[in-house]
Amino acid sequence: MTAGERTAVSRRPLVGAGVGTFIEFYDFAIYALSVPIIAARFFPAGDSGAALISAFAVYGVAFVIRPLGGVVFGVLGDRYGRRGVLVTVLTLIGVATALIGVLPGYADAGLLAPALLVGLRLLQGLSAGGEVTSATSFALEHAPERQRSLWITVVVATSAVSSVVGLLVVLALNAALGEAAFTEWGWRICFLLALPLSLIGLYVRMRTEESPAYQRARRTEGLSAAPVREVLARHRPAVGTAFALAAMTGLGFYYLAGYFPTYLQVTAGLSRASALAANGVALLVFAVALPGCGALADRWGRRPAVRAGAVLLVLTGVPAYLLAGQGSFASAVAGQVLLALALAVFGGGSYVALLEVFPTRTRLTGAAIGYNLGYALLGGTAPLLASALVAAFHSPFAPGFYLSAVALLVLVGTRSMPETREVDISD
């Protein structure tokens, strides 16, 4: 085997983890990007504000079931292997997303239309609950010891890249079909594309090998017979750490990728094209900055990165919205980039730490419980709550105060966070 072939084989788990995460988050991103259209198509006409909040509520529904999906697929991954879970969750979300593209609207099916939409969003959430922690754990357990955070942040960065690809797909179809045709039926193509993308991801994932850490645990009879019970009995502090880290990253990321595209259109008055383009720039900045911050966390430690990122999020939450709400393209980019950079610093240490605090035998289950509870309570509710805060306080900056307040709580809560850079993850 040549040196190039050995490198390709060694990086195949990273590619397999990243490509599936890319597809999972593309599927979530296109829903967020289509919220104004979904509000008009799947809910009664007459009150556009109520329809918009309803569409965001359905967006959040997928996060409600994420903890269940995390537990189910976490247990399966800890008991029977990571690779099989990665294949299953990708199949599930690909089918569910494609089916959204063929659903009838409210005008054709009445209340059945939003009911079916909710059902498919629940399937997406069930899948996503198992995707992130399974994919990142898979990458972690294959990664070189001194590059664990770099590998994890590369996988997570693909979620931001997929949001940019979703933006480009929406913009391209909107330009090719025209505003009227895209709003009428063209948006469905975005969802239908999930099926061929999932087939590509499945091909890549089925060609990867099981993680060495899991194989070692299986050979030495080090697998847990009851992962959930063991996590709750022995690793509750670790679950609390994972929850706090995931809650902050979930809130920040879904503000950026889930709420800002609609905020810029509805509140700041930008056109759809300008809002999506500005959001795409910010997401690209996040995708590029995150692995760089991950490399710094590999050098200096996870705890310093988390603490520094939390301070930046406290300081930039309100200014980010002040800038983005000014109504110009440049200010929209500046405000979102400010948030993206602060979030990248925090994520450089947090994404890997919430995995490293658990041993191999319960890593997927423990991380999935903490991660998905954090994302369900703060990530999935971020767009809905932000929209409600703007309406309740008649202030476009209200979501920024909420972001800063949560970041301050996380900063205080991570004072006793353990440093995991030197942890032996094969234990």
Angle at 67 between CA 91 and CA 53, to 5 degrees: 90
Report the pLDDT value the prediction gives residue 363, as an integer from 0 to 100: 94
- The closest of 310, 320, 343, 315 to 153, measured between CA atoms, is 343
Contact between residue 100 and residue 120 where contact means Cβ atoms under 8 Å apart: yes
Which residues, 6+ apart, have CB-to-CB distance to 143 below 8 Å? 14, 150, 151, 152
Contacts of 356 (CB under 8 A, 6+ apart): 140, 148, 302, 420, 423, 425
Chain Cα centroid distance, residue 146: 25
Task: Give me the pLDDT at residue 154, please.
Answer: 95
What is the tally of helices (H) and strands (E) in the chain? 21, 0
pLDDT for res 304: 96
Residue 153 and residue 294 in contact, taking contact as beta carbons nearer than 8 Å = yes
Domains along the sequence of the chain with CATH:
3-413 (1.20.1250.20)
- φ, ψ dihedrals at 222, nearest 5°: -100, 15
Assign 3-state DSSP to the chain and report helix, strand, coil percentages, each to 5.
Answer: 85, 0, 15
- Of 88, 89, 98, 90, nearest to 120 by C-alpha is 98
DSSP annotation string for 342-395: HHHHHHHHHHHHHHHTS-GGGHHHHHHHHHHHHIIIIITTHHHHHHHHHHHHT-
**Encoded amino acid at 68, one letter:** L
Alpha helices in 206-235 (DSSP H): 212-219, 227-234
Q: Which residue do the tokens 């998905």 mark? A: 372
Counting Cα atoms < 13 Å in the Cβ hemisphere of 223 gives: 16
Residue 126: count of CB within 10 angstroms of its CB: 22
Decide if 285 contacts 257 (C-beta within 8 A): no
pTM: 0.85
State the Cα–Cα distance between residues 51 and 175, nearest whole angstrom: 26
| pLDDT at 247 (0 to 100) | 94
Q: At what angle do helices 272-300 and 329-356 cross, to 10 degrees?
A: 40
Tokens 């902050």 locate to 248
Q: pLDDT tens string for the chain (427 positions)? A: 444 434 444 678 888 888 888 888 888 788 877 888 888 888 887 777 778 878 878 877 887 888 899 899 999 999 999 999 999 999 998 999 999 999 998 888 888 988 999 999 999 989 988 888 899 999 999 999 899 999 999 999 998 898 889 888 988 998 899 989 998 999 999 999 999 989 988 998 888 888 888 898 888 878 888 999 999 999 999 999 999 999 999 999 989 987 898 889 888 889 888 998 899 899 999 999 999 999 999 999 999 999 999 999 999 999 999 999 898 999 999 999 999 999 999 999 999 999 999 999 999 999 999 998 998 888 878 877 888 888 888 888 889 999 999 999 999 988 889 999 988 876 6
Could you give phi then psi for residue 127, rounded to 5 degrees?
A: -65, -50
Q: Give the integer Cα–Cα distance in Å for 389 and 384.
A: 9
- pLDDT reported for residue 159: 85
* 8 Å CB contact between 73 and 89: yes
In angstroms, rounded to a whole number, what is the distance separating the alpha carbons of residues 79 and 73?
Answer: 10
